[in-house]
Amino acid sequence: MSGHEHQDYTGAKFGMWLFLFTEVLLFGGLFILYAVYLARYPKEFVTAGSQLNVWFGGGNTLVLLTSSLFVAVSITALRRGATGLCLRLLGGTVACAALFMLNKFFEWSAKIGHGIYPGSAHLRELPPGETVFFNIYYLTTGLHGLHVVIGAIVLIWTMALIKTGRVHANDWVILENAGLYWHLVDLIWIFIFPLYYLILH
């Protein structure tokens, strides 16, 4: 690898880490908001949190952990020249993303079916603390879901680059950066799951 290529690689990595830092700040702000209102409405948060389905949350946690494993192994596979295995692993990651969003669809549908969604008449009838909980819940999980979709699109794009030979065993920084983004998506959910689905039960 020439010095120029090494410099480009370092720049790409540094730029990605800066981007990930801004994402951490975004979700960190939402977690701080959660903590502030939890301190203000502890009983209401427990009541509202008990209405979330732990099995949906736990299942999606398992799905994302599996997908992160697939991404990590796919990078190793590509670096060893196992392009076919790399593509299959990335395909598995995209399938996990689709399964995550499908689970989220059913979970949200159940809540919406009971009239629990931002701006609903039923939500306005609940105590202020419960209304705040569900508003933050939809905002945080909705934003995270958007990141899951974006991450899946980035991985599909990376797969296309691998198939055309633009990303390969000697130039894999795009795949690694895509993997870093996906790991962040997974990490954020690792915080969301206990905050909304576990500690309030």
- For the segment 98-143, what is each residue's pLDDT rounded down to a tens digit? 999 999 999 999 999 999 999 999 999 999 999 999 999 999 999 9
pLDDT-derived band at 201 (thresholds 50, 70, 90) equals: low
Name the percent of the chain in helix, strand, coil, to the closest 5. 85, 0, 15
Per-residue pLDDT tens digits for 16-48: 999 999 999 999 999 999 999 999 999 999 999
Mean pLDDT in residue range 155-161: 98
The rounded radius of gyration (Å) of the Cα atoms in the chain is: 19
Name the class of domain 3-198.
mainly alpha
Q: How far is CA 29 from CA 9, 71, 82, 91, 101, in A?
A: 31, 27, 41, 32, 23
Q: Which secondary-structure segment (H or E) carries 26?
A: helix 3-40
Instruction: Give the Cβ contact number of residue 197 at 10 Å.
Output: 21
pLDDT-derived band at 4 (thresholds 50, 70, 90) equals: very low
Residue 113 near residue 105 (C-beta atoms within 8 A) = no
